[in-house]
Structure 1
Amino acid sequence: MWVCLLYSSEFFVFRRQRVFDGYTCPESKRDFSMDKVYSDIQCALYCKGSSFCVDIFYQPQTGRCDGCRDSEDSELEIADGFLYYTRRAVNYIWTTWSPWSICSLSCDSGTQKRSRECSIRIEGNGESTCEEADGVSEETQPCNEQSCPTPTLGKSCTSNTDCIETEGVCIDERCFCHQLFEYNNTINNCTKVCDTMTGNYTKYENINIAGFNHGSNAAYDSLEDCKIACNSNPICLSFEIWSQEGKVACTTGIITFEMVNSADPTHISYQFGVDLYSKTCI
């Protein structure tokens, strides 16, 4: 937002206002009209020398200068390239500031903004929207300047309270996001992505999750039997399966593939002949 002020050696001011750019006053309202005026200041000086001129419309490409007795917006004529200046009183009317916006970061110095709207009242012309004003329409300030705590995802723990992330859980002495959450690297926190776990599975071929199986392996006749067993176990979120003596062997996993992949992917390994089935959520 800015206002251009034109001065001469004697004190007088023309204020640059974009509200009537691209127009000029009709011939009936002109005090004078001149061509080949070399600058807007020279145009303003011609207006200053007249007792009746209150506004100027200046076309810098052609040097055309129209000095006007009145510039009521209802009577203006379209005139491409003309710039508008007025020597009449201009009052800027600002609304109160809006509330500050939500901080862009929860820690490590984010920013927040607030804004206000402005209108101008030019003597004799009523009220119009500001495009330049003595002030600013938007302010920005820092917020949440405290340092972010060190992430605990994948770190050792003894209870859920050791995991600082939202809905962080301690499983087998390691911090994970809850199964309905995923880790967001942009905000360094767990964010909710699902409402409930399903009885459906995503298959990961030749993938093994080391260290997060509960109990001993069980032998079943088929893959479907492994799914039924996992779905009937409230702590089961995944299972690994492989062929064993004409049957299949299954584990009982207490984390999903997504949980361990976010927290500590070093626990994910390639193991030929072993497939991982991880529960999905919706």
Structure 2
Amino acid sequence: MKLAIAGASGRMGRMLIESALAQPDAFELVVALDHSTSQSIGQDAGAFLGARTGVMITDDLQALASADCLIDFTRPEGTLEHLKVCVEHGVKVIIGTTGFDDAGKQAIQKAGESVAIVFAPNMSVGVNATLKLLEVAAKILASGYDVEVFEAHHKHKVDAPSGTALKMGEVIANAWDKPLDELATWTRHGHTGAREDGSIGFSVVRGGDIVGDHTVYFCGVGERIEITHRSTSRATYAQGSLRAARFLEDKPKGVYDMQAVLGL
């Protein structure tokens, strides 16, 4: 599969490049994209590894025409621009970008009518196994337990709560047959009053170089259940993305999530 990788000089972009280059029998890096102001434009995509790939980092989106699949972990506005070009050229897309508004999500669904897309807030296999565990726990603990979602990420993350935390809340709300927006408590400050039964609280930490920590608490009387996932490396997101790319090889169109990729 011929791969294009967006955000090629970023932390996640570099991890994706490294992971793809480590699987030469399955993937060929053909495009490395970055924004026009990046100092990496014109450099070899493998330079940070001391490797020569022959693929130069570019801001020319039309280069996507030579790829089978784009992997994109950038910003919503950038991802949507890339998506337009992918639809134009029939390129499959893996979207790990978070922070989309409703219009952005609708644009992704619309693009799925033309090309195959995996769109997930977290590409980690472990996180998606955790989501399945949360679904089971939420059904068992639907009464008599207060739910809180905690997440922590590095200081450079620009959206909050994280897409993964939101997905965790959505999984629990869906298990209770209710929309998350009706249940979510996003902030607490001052005299908040007693906690409302059936609500889902969210707490956020931003600091240092935390890759990603998520814990969901089911707090009952006399006991507490905690379901936790901690990421110590972006490699898990890269490996999940490559697994998603292989999943799309025989898919002509449609929007899929990682639960579909993993057969969950």
Q: TM-score, normalised by structure 1?
A: 0.22
Of structures 1 and 2, the one with the larger relative CO (CA 8 A, separation 6+) is 2
Larger Rg: 1
- Flag the structure with higher helix content: 2
TM-score, with length taken from structure 2 = 0.23
